[in-house]
């Protein structure tokens, strides 16, 4: 098995991290938003989207809670006046529809990202190993670059 230089841990943690990060490699679907209230779906990172104030992006990635890893999507700051450009939801996990009792079967996590005001920002998705008390062991899964335009 070839070593992935992006993964710093060794042994079981390396294997688990590689599986968790590899599980996020799915097809991209980004549908351009035409007007306020429109929605886009992104399923692969890195990605770039342009949206209008009031639009949403559903960031849906393959995740696997059976590994003990957790996933976070954070970012969205800042426009003039130090106000967030987008709001990122906590994220909702959906178990796989098949093989529900199969250990290791991946599900998906969906974060809803809502455009609040014009500006540019990034949302970074990270994964944390089980038992991590700090961010030293977090691995970056990918980045969503967002440009928000004024509603038309």
Residue 38, in any domain of the structure: yes
Q: Indicate the pLDDT class of residue 26, thresholds 50, 70 and 90.
A: very low
Model pLDDT for residues 37-87, shown as the tens digit of each residue = 789 999 999 999 999 999 999 999 999 888 888 899 999 888 767 789 999
Residue 6, in any domain of the structure: no
User: 86 with 148: CB under 8 angstroms?
Assistant: yes
Residue 32, in any domain of the structure: yes
List the domain range (segments joined by +) for residue 43.
11-149
- How many domains in the chain? 1
Q: How far apart are the first and last CA of the chain?
A: 52
Length of the chain: 152
Residue 7, pLDDT score? 35
5 by Cβ neighbours in 10 Å (0-12 / 13-18 / 19+) ranks as exposed
Residue 65, in any domain of the structure: yes
**pTM passes above 0.75:** no
User: 29 with 43: CB under 8 angstroms?
Assistant: yes
Residue 117, pLDDT score? 94
Strands 92-94 and 47-52, bridge-based pairing: unpaired
Residue 36 belongs to domain with CATH number: 2.60.40.2020
Residue 54, in any domain of the structure: yes
Q: Which residues of 79-109 are buried (b: 16+ CB within 10 A; e: fewer)?
A: beeeebbbebeebeeeeeeeeeeeeeebbbb
């Amino acid at each position: 098995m070839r070593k992935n230089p992006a993964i710093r841990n060794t042994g079981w943690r390396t294997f688990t991290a590689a599986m968790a990060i590899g599980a996020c490699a799915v097809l991209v679907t980004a549908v351009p938003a035409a007007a306020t209230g429109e929605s886009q779906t992104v399923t692969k990172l890195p990605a770039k989207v342009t949206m209008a104030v009031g639009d949403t992006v559903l960031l849906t990635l393959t995740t696997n809670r059976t590994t003990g890893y957790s996933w976070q999507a954070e970012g969205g700051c800042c426009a003039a006046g130090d106000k967030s450009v987008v709001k990122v939801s906590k994220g909702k996990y959906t178990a796989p529809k098949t093989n529900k009792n199969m250990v290791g079967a991946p599900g998906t996590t969906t974060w809803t990202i809502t455009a609040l005001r014009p500006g540019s920002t990034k949302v970074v998705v990270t994964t944390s190993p089980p038992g991590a008390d700090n961010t030293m062991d977090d691995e970056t899964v990918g980045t969503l670059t967002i440009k928000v335009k004024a509603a038309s």
